[in-house]
A and B are shown apart, each in its own frame.
Chain A
């Protein structure tokens, strides 16, 4: 059980208001420490809500969420410094230079920079941004800004990394390079990663395991990814995931358990 970094148990999230919206329903999954898990699914399948729940920014309506054994909403401060996030947009603070953006989590956690294994400048260097430490976000290209965001996520040496469509808006070449770097740095650091993506290819390239989300947010299917280079096997896996995403929308809530599969 100690091996589990992230745990969702029968989690539901309903947004109240005029016509309540069920964003997540009976969501159950685990992510082991050091595992790289990708979530794929159609738009509106509750991926972002899952992130909000995991970060403790939203309270679940039902069920329990645990991150490293703590309830991220009820014990918000327990997870300070343990989770790093890379979002779809870079979300850099425009008034801070690249290096000062990387320092944000370090300042919040209150760690002495000199006691970190890698300084913010070294993270920027590792991500290919040497010479751009003092540049403001608007002076950097989209790919460079996303690199700063990755450096920021890694700088405080968190145990878990959350990536929400982190490379989706970048061009194929830039996104591909960033993906490789991100996975390599995460694996080198032994980080637990939960990565939301729309791209099946990205999920296959990065994940140890892929969860297919159906609507409203639940695990409709699950695939273990073998690190194979055989194009035919990968195509087969891609096709299976693609079908699972399609099926997840047609299948009713009662069929969810049957929808779990392993490839």
Chain B
């Protein structure tokens, strides 16, 4: 025990003097805890942007005095339509349906693409097999996939899920594959020297290393998944926000169309903020590293 203590005292010289044990014990301590609300509104206020948005609102309101409501409905009418959406159970159901569709399909695409991407990153044969298929998938425009889905599948949910999966899978795939490729050979050898099973290798090394890239892919795909879902609902849907938008168009209700668009924007902002919260929890090591390097 004495010897151990002497070792401790002996090595204290090589400690970085800038570090205090307490600070190191709480590596994320210097970072502000981020909740969902602060992730949404905690950004620095962009005065110029706010002024620009205010300008557009004023211009819109002025235009509403000189145009029919089908072109520029007054702001109060738009606000009333938004309030109506959040009060109406049918409208709330439409929101729920669309969001469940987006999220379930994105999780499906994420799961499939991550498995394929890891396989392609590890084995060249998998990559040579999969990449041409993914490139083909990526080259086909989303609207063509919608047409294929309408012709191939009778079930509405299957159609939408199919379209979301095929349009978002490539970016998840490439992020996963490139993430695996970016893991240094040194780390591979270090972990492999302990002789892990494949599942241990994936859990201990591959997935944590991929996490930043996969979260980035989620950000990108939330937007594209939302767009594709709305398009699919708009063209052939019998439920969801897309269908509500189509009804707004058929009844020439610009106020409702804008209100539903607002709901979509809110969804993307909220889910993006939720991702930021997840990111700040799972990637605390990365954020604090950036902070210390910065």
CB atoms of B285 and A94 under 8 A apart: yes
Mask, B15-39, CB within 8 Å of A = 1, is 1100101101111000000000000
* In the complex, chain A residues whose CB is within 8 Å of the CB of B10: 128, 177
Q: In residues 169-192 of chain B, which contact A (Cβ within 8 Å)?
A: 186-187, 189-192
**In the complex the two chains form, what is the Cα distance from A27 to B135 in whole Å?**
48
Q: In the complex, what distance in Å separates the CA atom of A52 from the CA atom of B21?
A: 37
With known contacts A130-B8, A136-B288, A136-B289, A57–B26 Cβ distance under 8 A: no
Q: Does B193 contact A (CB under 8 A)?
A: yes
Instruction: Say whether, besides A57-B192, A87-B186, A138-B289, A131 and B24 are in contact (CB < 8 Å).
Output: yes
Which residues on B sit within 8 Å (CB–CB) of A133? Answer: 25
Pick the contact of A131: B11, B25, B209 (CB < 8 A): B25
CB distance from A71 to the nearest CB of B (A): 13
A242 within 8 A of B: no
Chain B residue at minimum C-beta to C-beta distance from A158: B194
Determine if B195 and A76 form an interchain contact, defined as CB atoms under 8 angstroms apart: yes
B residues in contact with A235, CB < 8 Å: none
- Stretch of A141-149, A209-217, A221-229, A249-257 lying at the B interface: A141-149
| A85 interface contact, C-beta 8 A | yes
Q: A57-B193, A104-B191, A108-B196 are in contact. Are A141 and B286 (CB under 8 A)?
A: no
CB distance from B3 to the nearest CB of A (A): 8
CB contact under 8 A between A139 and B24, given known A126-B7, A128-B12? yes
**B249 contacts across to A, CB distance below 8 A:** none
- A: interface residue count bin: 35 or more
State A116–B10 Cα separation when bound (angstroms). Answer: 26
Q: Contact check, A134 vs B26: say whether CB atoms are below 8 A apart.
A: yes
User: Does B4 reach chain A (CB closer than 8 Å)?
Assistant: yes
Taking the complex as formed, is B70 at the interface, i.e. its CB lies under 8 A from any CB of chain A?
Answer: no
With A83-B193, A139-B24 as contacts: A144 and B285 at CB distance below 8 Å: no
Please name the residue on chain B nearest to A170 by beta carbon. B14
Min CB gap A94→B, angstroms:
6
Of all chain B residues, the one with the shortest Cβ separation from A173 is B13
Q: How far is the CB of B167 from chain A (nearest CB, A)?
A: 30
Number of interface residues of B (CB under 8 A): 42
B193 in contact with A89 (CB, 8 Å)? no
Min CB distance, A156 to chain B, in Å?
A: 8
Does A41 have its Cβ within 8 Å of any Cβ on chain B?
no
CB distance from A176 to the nearest CB of B (A): 10
Q: Check A128–B193 contact: CB distance below 8 A.
A: no
Q: Contact check, B288 vs A139: say whether CB atoms are below 8 A apart.
A: yes
> What CA separation (Å) do A55 and B15 show in the bound complex?
32
- B208 in the interface, Cβ–Cβ < 8 Å? yes
Cα–Cα, bound, A165→B208 (Å): 28
Partner among A108, A127, A130 whose Cβ is within 8 Å of the Cβ of B204: A108
Pair A108/B27 contact, Cβ less than 8 Å: no
A208 beta carbon closer than 8 Å to chain B: no
Cross-chain contact B187 with A57 (CB below 8 angstroms): no
Report the bound CA distance from A85 to B285 in whole Å: 24
Which residues in chain B, 210-266, are within 8 Å of chain A measured between CB atoms? 211
Given B11, B21, B189, which contacts A181 in the complex, CB threshold below 8 Å? B11
CA distance A109 to B14 in the complex (A): 31
Interface presence of B292 (CB below 8 A): yes
Once A131-B24, A141-B15, A181-B7 are accepted as A-B contacts, the answer to whether A77 and B195 lie under 8 Å apart by CB is yes
For A49-90 the 0/1 string (1 means CB < 8 A from B) is: 000100111000000000000000000110111010101010
Q: Does A91 contact B (CB under 8 A)?
A: yes
Residue in A closest to B188 when the chains form the complex, CB atoms: A57
A128 touches B11 (CB 8 A): yes
Asked whether B200 is an interface residue with its Cβ less than 8 Å from the other chain, the reply is yes
Interface contact A128-B7, CB-CB below 8 Å = yes
Q: Is A135 an interface residue (CB 8 A)?
A: yes
Q: How far is the CA of A46 from the CA of B135 in the complex (A)?
A: 42
Indicate whether A143 sits within 8 Å of B14 (C-beta atoms), given known contacts A104-B204, A108-B200, A135-B25: yes
Report B-chain residues with C-beta under 8 Å of the C-beta of A109: 194
Whether B190 pairs with A87 at a CB distance below 8 angstroms is: yes
Contact A177 B288 (CB under 8 A): no
Determine whether the beta carbon of B285 is less than 8 Å from that of A136. yes
CA of A133 to CA of B285 in the docked complex: distance in angstroms? 14
- What are 24 A-B pairs with beta-carbon distances under 8 A? A55-B189, A80-B194, A85-B190, A87-B186, A87-B189, A91-B186, A95-B208, A95-B211, A104-B194, A108-B191, A108-B194, A108-B196, A126-B4, A128-B9, A131-B25, A135-B27, A140-B16, A140-B24, A141-B19, A143-B14, A144-B14, A173-B14, A177-B11, A181-B11
Q: A81-B194, A177-B11 given; name 16 further pairs at CB < 8 Å.
A: A55-B193, A91-B186, A94-B289, A104-B191, A104-B194, A108-B200, A125-B8, A128-B11, A131-B22, A131-B24, A131-B25, A132-B19, A138-B293, A141-B16, A174-B14, A177-B14
Name A residues whose Cβ lies closer than 8 Å to a Cβ of B.
52, 55-57, 76-77, 79-81, 83, 85, 87, 89, 91, 93-97, 104-105, 107-109, 125-128, 130-136, 138-141, 143-144, 147, 156, 173-174, 177-178, 181, 184
